[in-house]
Amino acid sequence: MSAQQATKTRREPRLEQRAARRDANHGQRSAGRRLGLGFLSVLGLLGGLAVVVFAIVFGVRPTPTPTETAVVAIAGVPAGLDANGLVLGSADAPVTVDLFEDFQCPACRAWGRNVFPSLASAELTQGTVKIVFHDMAFLGPESTDAGRAAHAAAQQGRFWDMWATLYENQGRENSGAFTRARLILMADRLGLDVARFVADMDSSAAQAAIDTSRAEASRAGVTSTPTLIVDGQPFVGVQPYSDLAAAIATAAGQ
């Protein structure tokens, strides 16, 4: 063996040892990086859980986005007026006014705002007249749904308050003003038994009541809303209170 060969032979073990140490160090560094990333992931998860726990413990909740469903106005007829189902006014009143309406009809709402208050403060309060409501519900599905809600309110003696509330919340035809959720919310805000209200609104009796009112309108020759019939005399549209009062006085023999 030559000296050169011997030197090479002595170097080979040392070179192999150095290579082994480098490989071991590299493996440790790689493991350290992997451990570091995993540790950070665990910290992130624990941090997220801590935020959730903090929200639960201290009552922090995301702020709900306001929706139109939650915004309803409540209205009612003047206190002190006799109300029995779809009839408003004294049962002994000498004159009957048949009122044909659709809850989506803008003119019906205008009548309720501009003419009804005078009628309520005079002839209804005096006991001269009673109003009988007839639901035509012909402007679309939300008319029918509103009619069902009015029927359900009537089962709890609150038809006329629901009548006023529906008109107070009227929107464009079939635009969502009388969705199921909003109708139930109106009932709740009026203080009705909501479970009973929903059952009555969904009942076959509710639809039968609307069908009966439509048939009554057809027999009376009513084709538009609002229409009031006083002692056989029709008042179509929003007619002046003075004309209506004069017809009532004539019918009462005054």
pLDDT score at 29: 45
Could you tell me the CATH number of the domain that includes residue 215? 3.40.30.10
Q: Are the C-beta atoms of residues 83 and 77 closer than 8 Å to each other?
A: yes
What's the whole-number average pLDDT of the chain? 82
Same domain, yes or no: 133 and 17: no
Which secondary structure element, helix H or strand E, spans residue 149, and what is its range? helix 141-154
Q: Which of 62, 87, 103 is the last residue of a domain?
A: 62
Instruction: Give dist(CA 9, CA 13) in Å, integer.
Output: 8
As for how many domains the chain has, the answer is 2
At residue 200's C-alpha, the angle toward residues 81 and 168, to 5°, is 50
Q: Which of 62, 86, 102 is the last residue of a domain?
A: 62
Same domain, yes or no: 21 and 85: no
pLDDT of residue 31 exceeding 50:
no
Question: 48 lies in which domain range?
Answer: 1-62
pLDDT score at 71: 86
Same domain, yes or no: 153 and 120: yes
Same domain, yes or no: 10 and 57: yes
- Look at the pTM and tell me if it is higher than 0.75: no
At residue 205's C-alpha, the angle toward residues 202 and 112, to 5°, is 85
Q: Which of 11, 45, 62 is the last residue of a domain?
A: 62
Least confident piece of the model among 25-34, 36-45, 116-125: 36-45
